[in-house]
Structure 1
Amino acid sequence: MSYTKTLTFKTQDLGTDATLLLIFDKASDGLYNNKFPAVWKLAMFGASGPFHFTATFSSQLSWLKPATDLGSIVGASAYTPINYNQKTTLQQGGSGVLSFTPPETGTADSVTVVNGTSNSQDVALGSLPQGAFTPVPVYYWNGLGASESTQTKFQPVLRAYITSQYREGEIVKSEIATPRILEQDLSILDDNTTWNLRFNAAMGQFSITQA
């Protein structure tokens, strides 16, 4: 059974302009080798007055064939919802159209994708909110060879940073250099939570605390 978590981030007279980056980049097998996190959400907050930003995460996962532009995932040419213990195969029809096979039983506690085409393919894993047109990417794999597969156990551990160096959907090729100000397992949160973003001018540091 999938779940949805909605997080609202708020500021009041923050004291400086800030860009909040949300990403699932907790250390895992293959990270920054052939598996790369994608920027999940970006939000901008002004120095004075009230600001708020709401982000909704769905635990319903999906494999997708990503469409990329200048190092960012901008859409999907094909996708299929996937659950733990399932696998799907990316295939190419006679007209060259890519599609995923219906999910079938796979490896326990993982989601698996097989490249069933004759060429190397990039694939991505995304979160698929109910009613969404396409999945929101969270991880990207490049150069999955013909007949090769990859499997992963997604951890819904959200991390937050203050940085304006990235775009939403950007494929992050190395660890983010700015300090992490939040690490939160979304699976244990209430369905709706509020978070306060603050800036300590004397220390030059940002912080996020749950309201």
Structure 2
Amino acid sequence: MHTHPEAEAPTCAPAFVRNLTFQTNDLGKEATLVLIFQSDKDCTYRKSFPVIWRATTFGDEGRYSMHATYTNDLAFSRVQVVDGNVVSAGTYVKINNGQQTTLTKTGLEFKFSAPKQGVPGYLQATNKTDAAQDIAISIMVPGDPMPKPVLCFKDVEDGCDFKAKFTPKLHAYISSDHQETAILEGSICTDSIWEQDLAKLPESSTFTLSREPATGHYTITNEDKSTVLR
């Protein structure tokens, strides 16, 4: 597979960066925090699944922290999936809401077309490679040359044209059964403990993960002590 640099988009969405820190202090029990962007229901393709963005284990005693950076610099990626995990994203193109692109193949090379105007409010892609492909909405990560997939569209058939909305609404779970880059085809067996639209946060935020010993319930609280529970 050949890697192509992203094509230039004709317009740019307002850029923002969100630096997130999740910390614990004497949590009381080892726990793995799983962060995902839930699949938007407003999607024309039925086989769309979240990809686990971050999964970090915090110890039961002492201080632990995890840092994550989100940008709204989005891309469509052609990905490969092995044993339920995204293992590569070699071909990609940056894209904004309201734009569309087409994936083609010439010889052994895959390439996305330069984005053009599409349906307002949607990210749109067409597969024209003569074979089914796995395509993902991905996030460009500062300092990383390749985007990180967060929503995967599996087995997109040749000639299929699909569109989806993507909102940076982050959900947090406590689960030891999931790892980063895994495609979440079913539900996580625990309830979400926290959710947040990242567009509504300041550039940098710190959150504390806590556990109530009597009930075993987890909460995530930000610096102003507000919390969102499920």
TM-score category by the smaller chain? over 0.9
The corresponding residue for 2:125 is 113
Which consecutive residues of structure 1, in runs of 5 or more, have no partner in the other structure?
Answer: none
The corresponding residue for 1:162 is 174
Q: Is the 8 A contact 1:26 1:157 kept in 2?
A: no
Aligned residues: 210
Distance 1:31 1:91, change over 3 A: closer
Over residues 89-113 of structure 1, what are the superposed CA-to-partner deviations in whole Å (9 max), with x where a residue is unaligned? Answer: 10001x2211111111111111111
Q: Give, as a single letter, the amino acid of the residue that structure 2 aligns with 1:15.
A: G
Distance 2:56 2:155 in 1: 31
Distance 1:209 1:15 in 2: 17
The question of 1:101 aligning with 2:113 is answered yes
Distance 2:97 2:90 in 1: 23
Over residues 160-185 of structure 1, what are the superposed CA-to-partner deviations in whole Å (9 max), with x where a residue is unaligned? Answer: 00001011010001121102110100
Matches within 5 A, 1:5-24: 5-24=18-37
Q: Give, as a single letter, the amino acid of the residue that structure 1 aligns with 2:25.
A: Q
Q: Give, as a single letter, the amino acid of the residue that structure 2 aligns with 1:130.
A: P
RMSD across aligned positions (CA):
1.5
The question of 1:4 aligning with 2:12 is answered no
2:70 counterpart SS class:
strand
Matches within 5 A, 1:26-41: 28-30=41-43, 33-41=46-54
Q: Give, as a single letter, the amino acid of the residue that structure 2 aligns with 1:159.
A: H
The corresponding residue for 1:68 is 81
The corresponding residue for 1:91 is 104
2:33 counterpart SS class:
strand
**Is the strand fraction higher in 1 or 2?**
1
Matches within 5 A, 1:141-180: 141-180=153-192
Over residues 30-54 of structure 1, what are the superposed CA-to-partner deviations in whole Å (9 max), with x where a residue is unaligned? Answer: 5994100000001110000100101
Q: Taking structure 1 as the reference length, what is the TM-score of the superposition?
A: 0.95
Q: Is the 8 A contact 1:23 1:160 kept in 2?
A: yes
Q: Is the 8 A contact 2:39 2:49 kept in 1?
A: no
Distance 1:36 1:101 in 2: 24
Q: Taking structure 2 as the reference length, what is the TM-score of the superposition?
A: 0.87
Identity %: 33
Matches within 5 A, 1:180-195: 180-195=192-207
The corresponding residue for 1:58 is 71
Which residue of the other structure, out of 53, 56, 59, is the alignment partner of 1:43? 56
Q: Is the 8 A contact 1:75 1:134 kept in 2?
A: no
Q: Is the 8 A contact 2:39 2:50 kept in 1?
A: no
Q: Is the 8 A contact 1:86 1:107 kept in 2?
A: yes
Distance 2:46 2:181 in 1: 18
Shift of 1:194: 0.3
